[in-house]
Amino acid sequence: MAKDMTLLWGPGSPPCWRVQIILEEKNLQGYNQKLFSFEKMEHKSKEVLAMNPRGQLPAFKHGNNIVNESCAAVLYLERLYQSQGTKLVPDNPAELAVMYQRMLESAPLGMKMGDVIYYNMKVPEGERHDSALKRNRENLKDEVKMWEGYMPGSGCFLAGKTFTLADVVIYPAIAYLFRHGLSEEHYPKLAAYYNCLKDRPSIKATWPQVWKDTPGQDVLKNL
């Protein structure tokens, strides 16, 4: 039981989901948690800001140690609980290289997803341009094609023969793409990866409830 841990999170957020997955993989269930609504702008509430001055979710605390960036929380928990639960870092240098590389490539992937899915939220009305949104979509398409190429031809794992930190970090982002309408036909390897890990216990146990309760969006349907 991880009673000295607290996770503030928002529904369907890939960065939040990463932390939930690693907590499951490391047998750290029983942590304190609280759900905030992005729609109601609760991530800008005093309670969140007190833990994460950026006003973003997740906000994660272990004792007095605060680690809010999702990849930082994942690295922190792996280091502290190396020998507990699933071993998430391979010994093999070739697999290690791919694991860290994919993990950190979550940043450009996430940014390009946001530049399309949240374009109207991020850009004030008077500054919007069809040409910019079109370019953002092209950039995201190139990015997603790159990830299609990264996917394992067979097997469920991004970096070698086992589930690693790369999967903890990247799976939620891939699931988010499909939730927003990405075509399984256009991206068969991404779809295979998505479906292959759906029933992994850590992922199934933390699958966003809001995704079960509401229909997905189609903004990426034609990507």
Per CB under 8 A, residues contacting its own copies are 53-54, 62-69, 71-73, 75-76, 79-80, 89, 93-94, 96-98, 100-101, 103-105, 107-108, 111, 124, 126-127, 129, 131-132, 146
* Both tokens assigned to 51: 């833990």
Which residue's CB is nearer to its own copies, number 127 or number 199?
A: 127
CB of 212 to its own copies, least distance (A): 30
Q: How distant, in Å, are the alpha carbons of 100, 101, 134 from that of 104?
A: 6, 5, 26
Which residue's CB is nearer to its own copies, number 41 or number 107?
A: 107
Strands 32-35 and 5-9: parallel
CB of 161 to its own copies, least distance (A): 16
Which residue's CB is nearer to its own copies, number 124 or number 215?
A: 124
Element (H, E) at 61: strand 59-62
CB of 176 to its own copies, least distance (A): 18
Q: How distant, in Å, are the alpha carbons of 24, 34, 144, 212 from that of 42?
A: 25, 11, 30, 22
Which residue's CB is nearer to its own copies, number 104 or number 210?
A: 104
- Determine contact, residues 197/207, Cβ cutoff 8 Å: no
- The C-alpha atoms of residue 137 and residue 115 are separated, in whole angstroms, by 8
- The C-alpha atoms of residue 134 and residue 59 are separated, in whole angstroms, by 33
CB of 220 to its own copies, least distance (A): 21
CB of 105 to its own copies, least distance (A): 6
Which residue's CB is nearer to its own copies, number 103 or number 223?
A: 103
